[in-house]
Amino acid sequence: MKISGLNLDISWKNKEENFSKITEQFSDVVADIYLLPEMFATGFCMQPAEIADRNGETLKWMQEFARDKDAAVCGSVSVEDSGKFYNRMYFVKPDGSWEKYDKRHLFSFSGEDKVYTAGKERVVVNYNGFRILLQVCYDLRFPVFSRNKGDYDLALYVANWPEKRVAAWQHLLKARAIENLAGVFGLNRIGKDGNDLVYTESSHAFFADGTELSTKDGNIISAEFNLTELQDFRSHFRFLDDGDRFAIED
């Protein structure tokens, strides 16, 4: 399965401009899943009342994109739902059906927890034979939540992770792949946001042993994941069988 992500220089609070950028930069790219950064339509904005989707406008655009590409598209969006705001990750399939994951770990350092509501459900999507765990940015720092209980093969992380802390992002992505015997694809944004935070190109894809899988062509990062190879690797190194048993409490 091929995944292609866009290292997007997100236009601040400008959905239509970002949709246009994405469509153009992916125009000649063929993949099974197209991956977009955290809050790709607006940037990581702490004024959800100004930018949040209320009528599913970004989801509708994603559905059109998925149908046009005959592939899945995945990324996170600021949305209002039943009077609350969520940093919501959508996984949209070619037929327009979709699943969602609401970011559980809100970035208190920026005040995200004051304006957005944390999700509670861990979400694994089934697509093209792969079981895919959906994760957003700050979730990466909490390994208990992403602990592989034998229920996923690949984890997708989308982020707005600034340059000043990017070393942690890069090291933790590889660690999640190794400790969970899973493929990991981490997509970060690039450029500068409306708060003058700088984002450097730092997207990566790893095999379960920590081997880098990604290839880069301009702002496009791609990786091929082979389920047979992953299953074979797991059959030889059955480390998950020795993991401690525990449950996450709210």
pLDDT attached to residue 8? 98
pLDDT at 112: 98
In this prediction, the residues of the chain whose per-residue pLDDT falls under 70 are 250
**Superfamily holding 2-239:** Carbon-nitrogen hydrolase (3.60.110.10)
User: Which residues are catalytic, by number?
Assistant: 38, 103, 137
Which pLDDT does position 247 carry in this prediction? 78
3-state secondary structure of 235: helix
Amino acid at site 227: L
- For 23, 48, 89, 129, the CA distances from 114, given in Å and listed in that order, are 33, 11, 19, 38
Per-residue pLDDT at 27: 98
Among 202, 201, 206, smallest CA distance to 230 is for 206
Break the chain into its structural domains and give their ranges: 2-239
Cβ atoms of 151 and 131 closer than 8 Å: yes
| Both tokens assigned to 235 | 């059959």
Q: Encode pLDDT of 109-158 as tens digits.
A: 999 999 999 999 999 999 999 999 999 999 999 999 999 999 999 999 99
Sign of the four-CA dihedral 127, 139, 52, 86: positive
Distance (Å, rounded) from C-alpha 181 to C-alpha 173? Answer: 12
Structure token digits, residue 9: 């220089």
The pLDDT value recorded for residue 114 is 98
On whether the CB atoms of residues 173 and 186 are closer than 8 A, the answer is: yes
Q: What is the pLDDT of residue 128?
A: 97
